[in-house]
């Protein structure tokens, strides 16, 4: 068995102790229940307190479980909530960019499209909510892989299929794409998934700065790019939209 870290085991034991039976305990009760010296117990409690996992009652000096533990359990963001919060901003992005807008989250080994706004011309389009896109080649997928470690490991383990001659399939190549994505704060896909199609995407963060999804525009390569480069006004509009949604989810300014 691998070596374990004693102070983490002790911290876990403390949390269990505070979770069961009597909810508020004094330092000496905690120390004696766990067979620890008071000084050792105090050091661990103080660390847990700093992390918000334990709170100390001011009047009695007794310890109890902290609010952060509750938040940990409830931090999952409902995808339908995400769509509802994004609605106004994604509509506006479609309007200002003239392209279709997609909102995606990680689901199993790919990107699940949870919201789709049509391109604002009068053409017939089909709602793609519920469709899956690949992680390694799409702008949404690259953004998720760059910011969400779970998405990253899914993409790293998957067989990265070459959809077009431009798809990046090697691990090293993929990693450098992700580095670039993180460095500039947005991701792109120029004919790496579909011939003739380009997209730009940016990350959405929740109030604890965790990546919860990605939003982007997709359109014909000749509209999304200008003189061989992705249009900077589109990049700015996509990033604005991602920031506005993040702000609505309570993320602080960044």
Ligand X SMILES: Nc1ncnc2c1ncn2[C@@H]1O[C@H](COP(=O)(O)OP(=O)(O)OP(=O)(O)O)[C@@H](O)[C@H]1O
In the list 19, 67, 84, 150, the residue contacting ligand X (rule: CB under 6 A) is 84
Residue 125 makes contact with other proteins by CB under 8 A: yes
Q: Which helix (H) or strand (E) holds 183?
A: helix 171-184
Q: Which helix (H) or strand (E) holds 112?
A: strand 110-117
Choose the one of ligand X, other proteins, none that binds residue 125, judging by a C-beta under 5 to 8 angstroms depending on kind. Answer: other proteins
Give the per-residue contact string, 49-78, with other proteins (x = CB under 8 A; - = no). -----------------------------x
Residue 252: CB minimum distance to other proteins, A: 17
Question: Quick one: 82 or 238, whose CB is closer to ligand X?
Answer: 82
Instruction: Encode 116-149: b = buried (16+ Cβ within 10 Å), e = exposed.
Output: bbbbeeeeeeeeeeeeebbbbbbbbbbbbbbbbe
In the list 9, 22, 51, 81, the residue contacting other proteins (rule: CB under 8 A) is 81
CA dist list (Å): 146 to 84, 99, 177: 25, 24, 9
- Which tokens in the block code for residue 148? 């969400």
- Closest C-alpha among 122, 128, 126 to residue 103: 128
Residue count at the site for ligand X (CB under 6 A)? 2
Choose the one of ligand X, other proteins, none that binds residue 240, judging by a C-beta under 5 to 8 angstroms depending on kind. Answer: other proteins
Contact set with ligand X (CB under 6 A): 80, 84
């Amino acid at each position: 068995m691998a070596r374990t870290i004693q102070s983490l085991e002790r911290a876990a034991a403390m949390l269990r102790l505070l979770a069961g039976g009597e909810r508020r305990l004094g330092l000496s009760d905690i120390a004696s229940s766990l067979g620890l010296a008071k000084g050792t117990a105090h050091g661990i409690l103080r660390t847990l307190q700093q992390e918000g996992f334990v709170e100390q009652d001011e009047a009695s000096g007794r310890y109890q479980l902290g609010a952060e533990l509750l938040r940990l359990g409830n931090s999952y963001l409902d995808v339908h909530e995400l769509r509802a919060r994004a609605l106004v901003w994604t509509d506006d992005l479609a309007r200002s960019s003239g392209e279709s807008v997609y909102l995606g989250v990680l689901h199993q080994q790919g990107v699940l499209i949870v919201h789709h706004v049509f391109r604002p011309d009068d053409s017939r389009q089909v709602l793609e909510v519920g469709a899956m896109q690949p992680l390694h080649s799409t702008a949404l997928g690259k953004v998720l892989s760059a910011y969400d470690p779970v998405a990253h490991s899914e993409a790293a383990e998957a067989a990265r299929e070459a959809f077009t001659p431009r798809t990046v399939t090697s691990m090293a190549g993929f990693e450098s794409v992700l580095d670039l994505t993180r460095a500039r704060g947005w991701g792109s896909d120029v004919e790496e998934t579909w011939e003739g199609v380009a997209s730009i995407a940016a990350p959405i963060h929740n109030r604890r700065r965790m990546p919860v999804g990605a939003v982007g525009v997709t359109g014909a390569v000749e509209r999304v790019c200008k003189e061989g480069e992705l249009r900077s006004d589109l990049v700015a509009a996509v990033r604005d939209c991602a920031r506005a949604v993040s702000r609505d989810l309570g993320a602080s300014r960044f």
